[in-house]
Amino acid sequence: METFEAIFNRRSIRKYNNQKISNEQIKKMLEAAMAAPSAMNLQAWQFLVADERSVIESIVKAVPHAEMLKGAGAAILVCADESVEKSITYNMQNTAAAIQNILLAAHALGLGACWIAVHPLEDVEKNVRQLFNLPDTILPVAIISIGYPGEDLKGEDRYIAEKVHFNKW
């Protein structure tokens, strides 16, 4: 898929049709995630893939605003590895870059995906930590729900010239 097509037509897709996502598709999205830029190229991230129905359902129970996962074929929990990168600010920027790459890769594969917040929602973070028995140095940042799209959303033109400042404010 052409890069600008992917950027401008990606939307958050929250309805899926229960179809499974193949291992090849999951690998491609994770390769895209790990191709993202990261501070000092430390790549301080870890990924937990849920592709079993029972595990996906357990996330829905632990994360009340993750209802869209019910029809999803997979979920990817994106985490920062605080044993590698101590700065919370860099960890947020690194993982955001990885997450965006997953969203774009999903779209390029003809899949729909949605960013589901975990950090900084303390209760959700705690539930996710417990659910997956995460080590203390692993910070769960977001869950990406992924599935074959059950809705068709068009790209939106969000360019606002007033938000752009050339050479001076």
Residues that bind ligand FMN (CB under 6 A): 11-12, 14, 65, 114-117
Q: State CA 163 to chain mean position distance.
A: 26
Q: How far is the CB of 71 from ligand FMN (least distance, A)?
A: 14
Q: Give the DSSP letter string of 89-145.
A: HHHHHHHHHHHHHHHHHHHHTT-EEEEEEBTB-HHHHHHHHHHHT--TTEEEEEEEE
Nearer of residues 12 and 93 to ligand FMN, judged by Cβ: 12
Nearer of residues 13 and 49 to ligand FMN, judged by Cβ: 13
Residue 58 CB neighbour total at 10 angstroms: 15
Nearer of residues 11 and 129 to ligand FMN, judged by Cβ: 11
Q: How far is the CB of 34 from ligand FMN (least distance, A)?
A: 19
Nearer of residues 73 and 112 to ligand FMN, judged by Cβ: 112
Please name every residue paired with 145 in a beta bridge, in sequence order, or none if there are none.
75, 114
Q: How far is the CB of 11 from ligand FMN (least distance, A)?
A: 4
Residue 52 to residue 70: CA distance in whole angstroms: 12
Q: How far is the CB of 144 from ligand FMN (least distance, A)?
A: 10
Nearer of residues 48 and 99 to ligand FMN, judged by Cβ: 99
Contact 134, 79 (CB under 8 A): yes
DSSP 149: B
- Angstrom CA distances, 99 to 13, 92, 141, stand at 15, 10, 10
Q: How far is the CB of 117 from ligand FMN (least distance, A)?
A: 4
